[in-house]
Amino acid sequence: MNIRLYNAAILDLDGHASLKKGEVIISDGIISNVIYYDDNELSHQNSGIVFDRVIDCEGNLLMRGFNNAHTHSAMTFLRSLADDKPTPLWLKEDIFPNEAKLTDEDIADFQSLAIMEYVSGGTVSAMDMYLRPYVTAEVFSQAGMRCAIVSGLNDFTFSIKELEEAYKVLNSYDPLITFKAGIHAEYTCSKELLEELSGVIKSLDCPFYCHLSETKSEVEECVGRYGKTPLMYLDSLGLFDKGGGIYHGVHLTDEEIDLMASKNIYAVINSGSNCKLASGIAPLKKLYDKNVGLAIGTDGPASNNSLNMFKEMYLTSVLCKLREEDAACMDASVILDMAVKGSAACMGYEDSGLVKEGNTADLILLDLNKPNMQPINNILKNIVYSGSASDVIMTIVAGRVLFYKGEYDLGFDPEEIICRCQTRTRRIINEI
């Protein structure tokens, strides 16, 4: 499919805040041409291409989309239900019991609802950890959205055998889908399970991902069990020998941060969730100063409660300033890079960040005429500090327009999904 996006203000995340007037040609999901206009005049260049779709961007901002590097999409059914509790009680009383009631059909619909929220907010890919990865693969594939699925292996669900099989099957399932090896967390996995998984990680020669050091009690309990903090313990088993990523990373030691830098372990910052669950503020400045790979994720709708990357960028920036008592730390350009390029790299996507020929066409269009986006003194800072999901006009993934001016093209009826999700939620919550 050939698409022409013309009359756009194109933003490349190259450290500069300038917008360049031009157009982008998409062919078979790839950016085949980027044309910049001279003297702000529209191009009259005749490429000879027959376009399936031509879209006037009306002078609005065209850029790479956001990559949500940690989420649990199907937890939309728990949005605003499991709130205002300490994390251990939140998991024990609300999350785990209700998740045990889910069917494959429930998960599919709840993930579809999340996908609507992703694309309408400018998110082009999600790194999703949840039950039944094959359901996740099918839902995201059919919707046309990228998903890096992470196994949530633990003592109660999934198995190492299932992980190995899913790794083989899902990494050749669809170009939009990848599968990553991971666990839910150290505290939900026995030593025997982790030791067996270590051998599998070595065999697969792959990176490893997990929730880690989210709360003080989690760290203290791990030290009590093994005499080591969570990251040092898991690394001692060889799980991070090929790098990977940790979610949350609120309570990290300097030794752990040094280890992350040396082993290419990404820190996925989940500011909204960390605040809402009172887990703390991640040491972002320390991580940045040590050149640790940085990414941003929303976490799930039960603990955030939104899947809004604009909100997440803002919180990530201002909480870092608050923690360090330094309003100058972590420039907005760094935060935006985390949400686009850093998150993409953590997920294993290599070309995100620049609108250039040969890159995948994962693009979003932001409305520059909204009051919150004016005046444009520095567009990068506008996006991070005053941007909103409501500014998103269009979201394109792999050259397919999934969202445009309030309309979805995801292979399902949005109104029907919303209705079914409400019905399914009532059933699950009311079950004894």
Interval 285-312: pLDDT, tens: 999 999 999 999 999 999 999 999 999 9
Contacts 24+ apart (CB under 8 A), 413-420: 414/116, 417/109, 417/112, 417/113, 417/116, 418/113, 420/109
Higher model confidence: residue 92 or residue 370?
370
Q: What percent of the chain has pLDDT over 70?
A: 97
**Distance in angstroms (rounded) separating the CA atoms of residues 280 and 214:** 8
The pLDDT, as a whole number, for residue 91 is 80
Report which secondary-structure segment, H or E, holds 258: helix 254-263
Which has the minimum average pLDDT: 42-56, 146-160, 275-289?
A: 42-56
Q: Please give the class, per CATH, of domain 2-64+361-408.
A: mainly beta
User: Is 364:395 a contact under the CB 8 Å cutoff?
Assistant: yes
The pLDDT, as a whole number, for residue 253 is 98
Average pLDDT, rounded, for the chain? 95
Q: With 80 as the cut, is the pLDDT of residue 282 above it?
A: yes
Work out the average pLDDT over 25-45: 83
The pLDDT, as a whole number, for residue 18 is 81
Question: What stretches of 264-378 show up as alpha helix (H) in DSSP?
Answer: 271-276, 284-289, 309-324, 332-337, 343-347
pLDDT band at 29 (very low <50, low <70, confident <90, very high): very high
User: In terms of C-beta density within 10 A (0-12 exposed, 13-18 middle, 19 or more buried), how is residue 64 classed?
Assistant: buried
pLDDT band at 40 (very low <50, low <70, confident <90, very high): low
Q: Look up the pTM and report it.
A: 0.96
Work out the average pLDDT over 331-340: 96
The pLDDT, as a whole number, for residue 46 is 54
**CATH 3.20.20.140 in the chain, residues?**
66-347
Superfamily of segment(s) 66-347? Metal-dependent hydrolases (3.20.20.140)
Work out the average pLDDT over 361-372: 98
pLDDT band at 431 (very low <50, low <70, confident <90, very high): confident
Is 68 in a helix, a strand, or coil?
strand
109-146: pLDDT as tens digits:
999 999 999 999 999 999 999 999 999 999 999 999 99
* Alpha-carbon distances, residue 116 vs 82, 122, 168, 274 (angstroms): 22, 10, 29, 24
pLDDT band at 96 (very low <50, low <70, confident <90, very high): confident
Q: With 90 as the cut, is the pLDDT of residue 59 above it?
A: yes
Q: With 70 as the cut, is the pLDDT of residue 57 above it?
A: yes
251-262: pLDDT as tens digits:
999 999 999 999
The pLDDT, as a whole number, for residue 85 is 81
**Distance in angstroms (rounded) separating the CA atoms of residues 312 and 50:** 40
Count of CA atoms in the C-beta half-sphere (13 A) of 354: 11
Work out the average pLDDT over 401-412: 98
pLDDT band at 15 (very low <50, low <70, confident <90, very high): low
Is 320 in a helix, a strand, or coil?
helix
**CATH 2.30.40.10 in the chain, residues?**
2-64+361-408
Is 130 in a helix, a strand, or coil?
coil
The residue count of the chain comes to 432
**Distance in angstroms (rounded) separating the CA atoms of residues 216 and 105:** 36
158-183: pLDDT as tens digits:
899 999 999 999 999 999 999 999 99
Q: With 90 as the cut, is the pLDDT of residue 14 above it?
A: no
